[in-house]
């Protein structure tokens, strides 16, 4: 038997299926929405929509031998992403549910996944904050308790991009086994600085949809968003010697993150030649596409302390983009286009003439800037799910809201990591290869990739 204890949308379950060619037998989650996504992709699995502490797993196992149990307890109350916020004691104790069930059904192999900070798991003070002097106490107690059941133990922090996933998500993985076999860690297959290189998240973008211009919107974008775009243009386009070029389009692209920047002028984002950074439960990635046109010297250049010259239609939004960059790149000196520009200091990188970009020896200027959020389907692929994994509807064909799709993806185990860990430790359970999901509606339009 194979059991997925915190099944969620099914990242670990589909990874196990990719490794062994068989579905998990039992999937448990307290959230009906998560079970909906799991059920449409794993219809042969027994689904238990129950609290992990209250479910009678021993009854459902019914004396059968359990070969593998996967467990990914909720990580939010351990993660550093919580910052200084109080932690939830109820969520922090979830690993003890693993011990509770392990003691009763004694799986041969248990694989766990969580944030690295779980290793600092310790008591909370009266305000819900970790007691620094007691960091790691509960973690060590949990490990000792598992070992008391006869389990050998080892753990590592692994980056998914090293194993072929297009995300740099880093997690703590633990392996417990009591069958006498050695614990095995998968060997990295991809590398940041040498071949085969990490996968580029740009390969998973639907380039048939570039979004809308940031200048032609009924509802203007927020100031913070405009500032992120301007900072990203500086970092990932103007100052980048190798910007990401969108195939078959006169455009450059990068991603911004909707997180607070740590300092003025900073850009939370990334190029599309890299794997995507960690995907969370809310979509915080914006795709920025900067359209370019060849630079011609006639009629464009001017001093930055002069009134703005007449903007012709030939360079498109050139003057508009220049004014936008001046305003939002931390200078505060933006002006309306029908007024003279204020005096620009010599430190300002975005005088009107300085939006000329050199790309492999050719000169270009910015023509327009588009923005859209990443789609759940794109996030799914960047998280390492198979293309045929269904995230937009339940088993009864009821639509699944985009917010729920993103939440399931952000909460999921990277399937490739489950696949690699299970292949390394449980290859003797393999019965074949994972078959395509026949419940996929193949009439749906397919994404067009670069």
- Compute the C-alpha angle 256/262/268, nearest 5°: 10
Specify if 439 maps to a domain: no
Residue 233, pLDDT > 60, answer yes
Which pLDDT band holds residue 321 (cuts at 50, 70, 90)? confident
Dist. CA 25–CA 32, nearest whole Å: 18
- Compute the C-alpha angle 141/143/149, nearest 5°: 105
Residue 126, pLDDT > 80, answer yes
More confident residue, 178 or 336: 178
- Same domain (yes/no): 171, 25: yes
Specify if 140 maps to a domain: yes
- Same domain (yes/no): 170, 272: no
- Same domain (yes/no): 157, 244: no
- Same domain (yes/no): 214, 166: no
| Residue 157 burial (C-beta neighbours within 10 Å; 0-12, 13-18, 19+) | exposed
Residue with tokens 């070029």: 245
Q: Provide the mean pLDDT of the chain.
A: 86
- Same domain (yes/no): 364, 395: no
Residue with tokens 């740009």: 202
- Same domain (yes/no): 131, 229: no
Residue 332 CB contacts under 8 Å (≥ 6 apart), including other chains = none
Which pLDDT band holds residue 261 (cuts at 50, 70, 90)? low
Average of per-residue pLDDT across 334-343: 44
Residue 160, pLDDT > 50, answer yes
Q: What percentage of residues in the chain have a pLDDT greater than 70? A: 81
More confident residue, 156 or 130: 156
Specify if 224 maps to a domain: yes
Specify if 173 maps to a domain: yes
- 108-112, 145-149, 278-282: lowest mean pLDDT where? 278-282
- Looking at residue 76, its pLDDT comes to 63
- 106-110, 164-168, 255-259: lowest mean pLDDT where? 255-259
Specify if 71 maps to a domain: yes
Q: Which helix (H) or strand (E) holds 144?
A: helix 137-147
- Same domain (yes/no): 41, 176: yes
Which pLDDT band holds residue 328 (cuts at 50, 70, 90)? confident
- Same domain (yes/no): 332, 232: yes
Specify if 449 maps to a domain: no
More confident residue, 313 or 244: 244
Residue with tokens 């775009």: 229
Residue 327, pLDDT > 90, answer no
Please confirm whether the linkage preceding 24 is cis (ω < 30° from 0): no
Report the CATH number that the domain containing residue 422 is assigned in CATH: 3.40.50.150
Q: How far is residue 73 from each of residues 30, 90, 173, 368, 400, measured CA to CA in Å?
A: 12, 11, 12, 45, 24
- In terms of phi and psi (left: phi > 0; alpha: psi -120 to 50; beta: otherwise), the region of 10 is left
The pTM score is 0.88
**Bridge-partner residues for 266, per DSSP?**
none
Helix, strand or coil, per DSSP, at residue 42: coil
Domain count, the chain: 2
Residue 340, pLDDT > 80, answer no
- Same domain (yes/no): 399, 364: no
Specify if 444 maps to a domain: no
Provide the strand spans (E) within 18-75. 26-28, 46-48, 68-71
- Looking at residue 91, its pLDDT comes to 76
- Same domain (yes/no): 187, 247: no
Q: Residue 326 belongs to what domain range?
A: 210-373
- Same domain (yes/no): 51, 131: yes
Specify if 197 maps to a domain: no
- Same domain (yes/no): 117, 230: no
Average of per-residue pLDDT across 108-121: 96
């Amino acid at each position: 038997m194979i059991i997925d204890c915190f099944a969620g949308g099914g990242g670990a379950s589909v990874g196990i299926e990719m490794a062994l060619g068989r579905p998990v037998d039992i999937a448990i989650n307290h959230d009906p929405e998560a079970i909906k996504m799991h059920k449409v992709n794993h219809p042969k699995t027994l689904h238990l929509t129950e609290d992990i502490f209250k479910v009678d797993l021993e009854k459902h196992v019914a004396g059968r031998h359990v070969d593998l149990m996967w467990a990914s307890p909720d990580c939010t109350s351990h993660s550093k992403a919580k910052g200084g916020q109080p932690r939830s004691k109820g969520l922090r104790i979830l690993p003890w549910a693993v011990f509770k069930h392990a003691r009763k059904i004694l799986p041969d192999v248990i694989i766990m996944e969580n944030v690295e900070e779980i290793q600092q798991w310790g008591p909370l003070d009266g305000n819900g904050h970790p007691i620094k002097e007691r960091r790691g106490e509960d973690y060590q107690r949990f490990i000792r308790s598992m070992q008391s059941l006869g389990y050998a133990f080892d753990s590592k922090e692994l980056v998914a991009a090293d194993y072929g996933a297009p995300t740099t998500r880093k997690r703590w993985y633990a392996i417990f086994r009591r069958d006498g076999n050695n614990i095995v860690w998968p060997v990295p297959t991809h590398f940041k600085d040498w071949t085969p290189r990490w996968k580029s998240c740009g390969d998973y973008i639907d380039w048939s949809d570039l979004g809308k211009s940031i200048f032609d919107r009924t509802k203007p974008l927020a100031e913070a968003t405009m500032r992120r775009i301007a900072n990203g243009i500086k970092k990932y386009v103007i100052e980048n010697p190798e910007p990401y070029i969108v195939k078959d389009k006169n455009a450059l692209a990068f991603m911004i993150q909707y997180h607070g920047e740590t300092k003025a002028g900073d850009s939370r984002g990334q190029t599309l030649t890299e794997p995507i950074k960690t995907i969370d439960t809310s979509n915080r990635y914006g795709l920025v596409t900067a359209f370019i046109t060849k630079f011609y010297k006639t009629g464009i250049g001017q001093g930055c302390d002069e009134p703005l010259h007449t903007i012709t239609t030939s360079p498109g939004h050139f003057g508009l983009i220049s004014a936008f960059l001046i305003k939002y790149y931390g200078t505060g000196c933006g002006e309306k286009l029908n007024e003279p520009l204020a005096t620009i200091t010599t430190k300002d990188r975005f005088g009107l003439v300085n939006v000329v970009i050199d790309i492999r020896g050719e000169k270009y200027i910015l023509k327009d800037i588009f923005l859209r959020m990443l789609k759940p389907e794109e996030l799914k692929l960047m998280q390492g799910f198979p293309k045929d994994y269904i995230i937009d509807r339940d088993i009864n064909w009821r639509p699944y809201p985009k917010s729920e799709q993103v939440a399931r993806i952000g909460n999921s185990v990277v399937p490739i990591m489950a696949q690699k860990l299970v292949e390394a430790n449980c290859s003797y359970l393999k019965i074949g290869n994972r078959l395509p999901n026949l419940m996929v509606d193949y009439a749906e339009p397919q994404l067009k990739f670069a």
